[in-house]
Each structure stands twice: as C-alpha cells, then as structure tokens.
C-alpha cells in the first residue's frame, strides 16, 4: 500500500471537530511559504495528514487528536516509521501521557496546537536530519557488514588457493571463487603457453550453472582480435555490458557460434589478467553474465532479460583481488608442478641409470614400487589387526613410491661386473680354466706320444702301443669329465644345492706348466666361487652387493627432499633389514624398522622370486614364491601380518589391474 492510499471515510467526525483540519490547513500554508525548507514535495494524502518529503525521507504531520482517536490513519506509514525512513510530528499534546509507544513508532516532535513558522521549521528540519543520520549509520553498518563478509570470503579464497598444489584443481578453485564473489553464471580460464615469440592462449576450463556441455582444450593466438588476447596484451581488465553490442571502435569481436551451438545467451562479460610475481601475464579469467540472484538459472532469453546485469565496479574490484591472489597461487602451483615433473624425471633417469648398469634387473624398481604402494593402500584400509592405525596419505604414498623406485640406487657404487655376474665364475675365469685344461690335455697327449715313440724305437709289442692309446683316451675323457663338472658347478642355484665333492677333489689336482713349475688346476678364488651354495656370488662379492644399501642411504641423504619426502633415504635404506636383527646394513630389529621398509621388503623379495628376466634363474611359480615368503616369516625376516595382507589381498593381481 502506498503512502497516499485511500484511508477510507473520516471526514470531520464529531469527536474531532473542525479545529484539527484548520491546524493542518495553517501548517500547510506555513510550510509552503517557508523558503528555508529544502524539500522535494509537500503532499496531503488525507485532510488530517500532511507529508513533507526529501528524497526517500518523509515527515508526517498530524494533529494530536489523530493519535488519540484516528491512529489507523498512520498505519500506511508504520513500516517507514519503524525503518527510520519517516518521522511523526504531532500538533498539540495527546491525551495519552505515556508517549513511549509513540516514540517507538516514530514520534519525533510535539508542537503546540498552532506552532509558529520557526517552531515548525526546526521540528521538520530536525526530523529530516535525524532520519538522514540514521540512514547513513545504517548504510555504514550495512557496508561494514558487507565488507567484513567479503574480507572473510577473500581470506577463505586465499587460503583455498594457497593450499592447493594440483594445477588442474587450482584452475577449478580459481574459477569457482571468481564466479562466487561476482555472481557470475559462467566463466572460463585460459593460460599463456610458449615463449614470447610463439605464445598462445590455451583454453583450460569452463563452468556454467545454467547448462551442461562438453568442452575440450584448444589454443588460440594472443592478439587484439580476441577479448582474452587484448587483456593479455594490455594487462588490464575489460568489462562489457553486452558482448553482442560491442563498443564502437573495438579491435576484438565476439563469436556467437558457441552460444548458438549450446543454446546459451552471453550478455555481460568481464575478463581480467592473471599476473605473476614477475609481472607477467600467465592467464586470464573470463566471467559471463552477472546475475541479480546468483542462485537462479538462465534457461531462456526471458531469464537473461530479467536476471543478467552489467559487472559493476565492485565486482571488478573483488575479481581483481581474487585474480591477484590467483595469479600468485597459479604461478606457485605451476612452479611446484614443474619441480615435481623435474624431480620425477630425475627419479626416472636414476632408475634407468641403475638398470643400465644391471640390465638383468630391468623393470625391478618399477615393479617393486607398484607392489609396495598397492600394499600400502590396502594396509591403510585395515580396520583390525596390528596395522589398523596405519595411515598413508597421498604424500606418504608418493614418498613411499620414490623410496621404492630408488631402493637400489646405491648399486651405482657397486662394480658392474659384480652386478651383472650371471654365473659363479666370470667369463674370463672360465676361459682361463678352459685354456688350463687344454694345456693339460696337450701335455697328456705329448707325454703319451713321447712314450709311444720310445716304445716303437724299442720294438715294443703291439699290445704296449694299444695300452698307451687306451691310457690317452682314458685320461682325456677324465679331463673332459672334470671340466664338465666345473661347467655344471658354475651354474647358480636359487636354494642351497649341488654336489661339490668333484670340485673339492679338483682343488687338489696339479699340473706342470711350461717352466716346469707345479701349479694347481683350480685357483683358490675359483674354488671359492664354484663352491657357492646359493646364487652366483662369493661371500666377498655378496658383501659388495649388500653395500648398495649403505650407498643408497648415503647418496639419497645428500638430496634435499624437503619436509614431505624427508624419509625417503631411511625407508629405502632399511629394505634389507630383518625383524630378528640379522639384516643389513644396521641390523635393525622389528620395532626399529619403518613400516614402509617392511612393506617394501615383501615386494622386493616377491619380485626377485617371480621375475622372469633374471639370467641366472627361472621365475619361481606363484605358489612357491608365496611359500618362500612364509618361510621368511618363520625365520623372522618378514612381517607376518603384512605378508598375510599381501597374500589375502592378492596384491600382485591388484597391481596388474592398475597397470591395464
């Protein structure tokens, strides 16, 4: 109901008489003749009411009798009295002596029945000034409340941006928060790629509250022909009320085909640059269609007409603050991503360097890392048992992956010939033994032939000559059998096995060299190597191989891993420790070994058993490999609970599934 609404019939009721109307007539005349009053309009919505207006403010003047007997006449002004947008001035004193209620309802002044011009001027002027003061205070309060709200939101936005490390997720956060503070229906983010001479804008992400559509990344040249390109080149924001009606002289254009294709109407737009700490534009935020009511959807042209408004100055200010923070956060995230990729490249190159020195274990590090991380994921979900409280965050898993990939990094400190030793004897050692046996064979042949010549000279019977031939064949056959025994003993074994009696006997055999010196058929080092009961390494060589763990810890400790990856050296350096304290290099006991290293130990043993690329052994069948893991548990080498989880969760299958 408006202030000038029809109040009904109250034309001169007997209880009021004519005096109140005369009062209002007189006051109306006084106010109309008073040049000191700066008001917009004076109206008389009812014979007993006079309204003085200044802008949105008003003073209602009425005889006191209206308060006593016709208060319903003031009802249309009640909401304005309550909000402070209107004040009440009564002519005369009401019969009701307690005026508290009247003051609560907007009573500003009590004047005499017939006030003078000065008295009337002061009352009206004071009432308007009080309303102005209250309005300004309320506006300041509203602005302060809004400012605090916006400041709080900006702080939350800054916190969200600075804590997000993933570049793709950060794009989503930046765009979402930019749209939130401005009330935009949709928006997109572009990033600058390439060098100055060949820089382009890449479309990365779009969001739209009103419609859904498929989008994909694309690039476009940076030039003044596009709005986004103009913003990049100028480093300044551009706001447009309606992109279908661009300002005259604009160098850029708007392509409506996208709107036509998805059934959307782009109207208002604002585009701001994302500027790095080095004052370089690294991207742009493009927001579309600021809405009066942000929760509304734009489902048709009528919605656009009702809801879409221009991005105002405050929107540009807020978006500018968000963009400033976003530029820094995006630059940091990109740098972090570059460092991460650089580091991952270093890790990959390190693994390749290790495997190039030991091709027999090619792929081992990657497989161990995959098995280890998958087992850790399963352990993280355990709700009972010894590891129900073990938790692995994303960063923990990344740390474990790096440690697993680099667990054999120390092999760069081990001689290559030891790393690649496939047989118990090195090739050159076996070749030397072969030459030795060949020399002995020729010596035997020479001895027998010499004796045969002497027999012929002595005209020995045929039987003597035949006996010499038999002796020669027998001795050569025995020599060949001895060498075959060496070749057989040279083969490595997975478990302790082999008949070494022949080697022990050969170790005592001698021959005479060309200088007439007596030499042993097998040297001490060769006997030691051929007597190895497991694998192909001598105790000394095995110690050298085991030293790779110490090298791993020492080399990795020199890398500044940072807080998130600080445990990589200690995790990688303990993967050969055993629960009973018999492991290496530090003979740690169960409680001293990191759980990550215990997990890696299982993966390392399993892959070593089942790998098909080892030249010194065949791959062990799955069932046998799992049995050997159980033997490791019984020997207190491996953690029984972790082996149980590994087996029951069939980690090898889960890992294979992730790889496909």
Per-residue pLDDT tens over the stretch 312-328: 888 888 888 888 887 88
Neighbour count for residue 175 (Cβ, 10 Å): 24
pLDDT 10s digits, 369-389? 999 999 999 999 999 999 999
* Alpha carbons 73 and 66: distance in angstroms, whole number: 7
- Bigger pLDDT: 587 vs 503: 587
Q: pLDDT tier at 10 (50, 70, 90 boundaries)?
A: very low
pLDDT at 84 over 90: no
Q: pLDDT tier at 133 (50, 70, 90 boundaries)?
A: confident
Q: pLDDT tier at 354 (50, 70, 90 boundaries)?
A: confident
For all residues of the chain together, what is the average pLDDT? 86
Which segment of 55-64, 391-400, 581-590, 625-634 scores lowest on mean pLDDT?
Answer: 55-64
Q: Classify residue 238 as exposed, middle or buried by CB count within 10 Å of its CB (0-12, 13-18, 19+).
A: buried
**pLDDT attached to residue 417:** 87
* Alpha carbons 135 and 141: distance in angstroms, whole number: 10
**pLDDT attached to residue 8:** 38
> 469 CB contacts (<8 Å, ≥6 apart)?
448, 452
In the numeric block, the tokens 């001027």 are attached to 121
Q: pLDDT tier at 239 (50, 70, 90 boundaries)?
A: very high
Per CATH, the homologous superfamily of domain 358-418+541-659 is Hypothetical protein af1432 (1.10.3210.10)
**pLDDT attached to residue 11:** 40
**pLDDT attached to residue 391:** 94
pLDDT at 160 over 90: no
* Alpha carbons 35 and 117: distance in angstroms, whole number: 11
What average pLDDT does the segment 300-311 reach? 93
What average pLDDT does the segment 484-489 reach? 90
**pLDDT attached to residue 150:** 63
Nearest to 319 by CA among 273, 376, 278: 273
Mean pLDDT: which of 133-142, 436-445, 488-497 is highest?
436-445
What average pLDDT does the segment 166-174 reach? 82
Which segment of 118-127, 248-257, 355-364, 497-506 scores lowest on mean pLDDT?
Answer: 497-506
C-alpha 487, offset from chain centre: 56
C-alpha 538, offset from chain centre: 48
* Alpha carbons 491 and 536: distance in angstroms, whole number: 7
Mean pLDDT: which of 443-457, 569-583, 606-620 is highest?
569-583
Which segment of 10-19, 59-68, 295-304, 572-581 scores lowest on mean pLDDT?
Answer: 10-19
Q: pLDDT tier at 3 (50, 70, 90 boundaries)?
A: very low
pLDDT at 591 over 70: yes
Give the rounded percent of residues in the chain with a pLDDT score beyond 70: 92
> 520 CB contacts (<8 Å, ≥6 apart)?
507, 508, 509, 510
* Alpha carbons 574 and 555: distance in angstroms, whole number: 14
**pLDDT attached to residue 151:** 66
39 in Cβ contact with 52 (< 8 Å): yes
pLDDT at 495 over 50: no
3-state secondary structure of 601: helix
Residues in the chain: 660
Which segment of 117-131, 162-176, 192-206 scores lowest on mean pLDDT?
Answer: 162-176
**pLDDT attached to residue 633:** 96
3 in Cβ contact with 51 (< 8 Å): yes
pLDDT at 7 over 50: no
**pLDDT attached to residue 240:** 94
**pLDDT attached to residue 505:** 87
Nearest to 290 by CA among 274, 267, 272: 267
Q: What are phi and psi of 616, to 5 degrees?
A: -95, 0
Under CATH, what is the fold of the domain 19-136? Rossmann fold (3.40.50)
* Alpha carbons 163 and 171: distance in angstroms, whole number: 13
pLDDT at 547 over 80: yes
| DSSP for 255-302, written as a single string | -THHHHHHT-----EEEEEEE-TTS-EEEEEEEEEEESSTT----SHH
Which segment of 130-139, 221-230, 316-325, 573-582 scores lowest on mean pLDDT?
Answer: 130-139
Pairing of strands 308-309, 281-291: antiparallel
* Alpha carbons 147 and 125: distance in angstroms, whole number: 32
- HEC string for 47-87: CCEEEEEECCEEEEEEEHHHHHHCHHHHHHHHHHHHHCCEE
Q: Classify residue 153 as exposed, middle or buried by CB count within 10 Å of its CB (0-12, 13-18, 19+).
A: middle
Which segment of 47-51, 189-193, 275-279 scores lowest on mean pLDDT?
Answer: 275-279
**pLDDT attached to residue 83:** 76
What average pLDDT does the segment 495-515 reach? 78
Q: Compute the CA torsion angle 358, 362, 364, 370 (nearest 10 deg).
A: 140
pLDDT at 197 over 80: no
Q: Indicate the DSSP class of residue 592.
A: G
* Alpha carbons 532 and 529: distance in angstroms, whole number: 6
* Alpha carbons 281 and 475: distance in angstroms, whole number: 88
* Alpha carbons 23 and 49: distance in angstroms, whole number: 10
* Alpha carbons 62 and 391: distance in angstroms, whole number: 77
> 361 CB contacts (<8 Å, ≥6 apart)?
355, 408, 611, 613, 614
pLDDT at 347 over 60: yes
Cβ contacts of 573-576, under 8 Å, gap ≥ 24: 573/549, 573/597, 575/407, 575/549, 575/600, 575/601, 575/604, 576/546, 576/549, 576/601, 576/604
**pLDDT attached to residue 643:** 97
The structural architecture, per CATH, of the domain 164-336 is 2-Layer Sandwich (3.30)
- Bigger pLDDT: 540 vs 134: 540
* Alpha carbons 508 and 320: distance in angstroms, whole number: 90
pLDDT at 623 over 60: yes
Q: Computed over its alpha carbons, how large is the radius of gyration of the chain?
A: 48
Q: Tell whether omega for the bond before 399 is within 30 degrees of 0, i.e. cis.
A: no
pLDDT 10s digits, 419-478? 888 889 999 999 999 999 999 999 999 999 999 999 888 888 999 989 999 999 999 999
**pLDDT attached to residue 371:** 97
pLDDT at 605 over 90: yes
Neighbour count for residue 222 (Cβ, 10 Å): 24
pLDDT at 6 over 70: no
């Amino acid at each position: 109901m408006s202030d000038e609404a029809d109040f009904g019939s109250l034309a001169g009721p007997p209880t009021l008489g004519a005096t109140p109307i005369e009062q209002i007539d007189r006051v109306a005349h006084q106010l109309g003749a008073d040049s000191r009053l700066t008001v917009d309009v004076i109206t008389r919505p009812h014979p007993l009411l006079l309204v003085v207006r200044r802008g949105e403010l008003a003073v209602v003047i009425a005889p006191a009798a209206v308060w006593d007997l016709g208060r319903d006449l003031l009802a249309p002004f009640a909401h304005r009295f309550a909000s402070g947008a209107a004040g009440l001035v009564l002519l005369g004193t009401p019969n009701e002596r307690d005026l508290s209620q009247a003051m609560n309802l907007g009573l500003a002044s009590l004047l005499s029945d017939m006030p003078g011009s000065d008295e009337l001027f002061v009352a009206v002027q004071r009432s308007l000034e009080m309303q102005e003061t209250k309005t300004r205070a309320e506006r300041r309060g509203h602005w302060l409340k809004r400012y605090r709200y916006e400041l709080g939101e900006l702080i939350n936005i800054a916190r969200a941006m600075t804590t997000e490390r993933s570049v793709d997720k950060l794009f989503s956060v930046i765009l979402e928060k930019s749209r939130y503070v401005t009330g935009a229906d949709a928006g997109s983010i572009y990033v600058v790629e390439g060098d100055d001479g060949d820089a382009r804008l890449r479309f990365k992400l779009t969001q739209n509250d009103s419609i859904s559509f498929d989008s994909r990344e694309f690039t476009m040249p940076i030039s003044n022909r596009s709005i986004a390109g103009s913003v990049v080149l100028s480093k300044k924001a551009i706001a447009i009320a309606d992109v279908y009606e661009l300002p005259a002289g604009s160098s850029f254009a708007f392509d409506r085909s996208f709107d036509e294709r998805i059934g959307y109407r782009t109207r208002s737009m604002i585009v701001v640059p994302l500027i790095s700490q080095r004052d370089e534009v690294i991207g742009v935020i493009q927001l579309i269609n600021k809405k009066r009511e942000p929760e509304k959807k734009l489902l048709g042209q009528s919605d656009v007409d009702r809801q879409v408004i221009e991005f105002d100055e405050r929107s540009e200010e807020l978006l500018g603050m968000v963009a400033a923070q976003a530029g820094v956060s995006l630059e940091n995230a990109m740098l972090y991503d570059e460092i991460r990729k650089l580091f991952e490249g270093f890790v990959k190159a390190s693994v390749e360097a290790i495997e190039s020195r030991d091709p027999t274990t090619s792929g081992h590090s990657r497989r161990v890392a995959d098995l280890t991380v998958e087992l850790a994921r399963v352990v993280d979900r355990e709700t009972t048992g010894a590891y129900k409280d073990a938790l692995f965050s994303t960063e923990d898993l990344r740390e474990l992956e790096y440690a697993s990939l680099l667990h054999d990094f120390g092999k760069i400190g081990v001689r290559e010939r030891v790393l690649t030793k496939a047989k118990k004897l090195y090739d050159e050692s076996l070749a030397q033994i072969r030459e030795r046996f060949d020399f002995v064979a020729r010596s035997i042949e020479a001895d027998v032939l010499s004796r045969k010549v002497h027999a012929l000279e002595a005209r020995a019977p045929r039987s003597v000559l035949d006996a010499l031939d038999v002796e020669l064949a027998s001795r050569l056959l025995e020599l060949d059998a001895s060498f075959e025994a060496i070749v057989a003993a040279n083969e490595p074994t997975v478990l302790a096995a082999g008949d070494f009696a022949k080697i022990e006997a050969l170790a005592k055999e001698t021959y005479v060299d060309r200088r007439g010196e007596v030499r042993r058929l097998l040297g001490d080092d060769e006997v030691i190597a051929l007597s190895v009961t497991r694998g192909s390494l001598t105790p000394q060589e095995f110690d050298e191989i085991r030293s790779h763990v110490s090298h791993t810890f020492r080399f990795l400790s020199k890398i500044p891993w940072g807080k998130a990856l600080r445990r990589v050296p200690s995790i990688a350096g303990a993967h050969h420790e055993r629960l009973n304290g018999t492991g290496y290099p530090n003979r740690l006991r169960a409680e001293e070994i990191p759980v990550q290293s215990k997990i890696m130990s299982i993966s390392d043993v399993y892959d070593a058993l089942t790998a098909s690329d080892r030249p010194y052994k065949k791959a062990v069948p799955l069932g046998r490999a799992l049995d050997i893991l159980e033997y490791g548990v019984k020997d207190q080498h491996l953690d029984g609970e972790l082996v149980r989880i590994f087996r029951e969760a069939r980690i090898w299958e889960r890992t294979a599934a992730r790889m496909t």
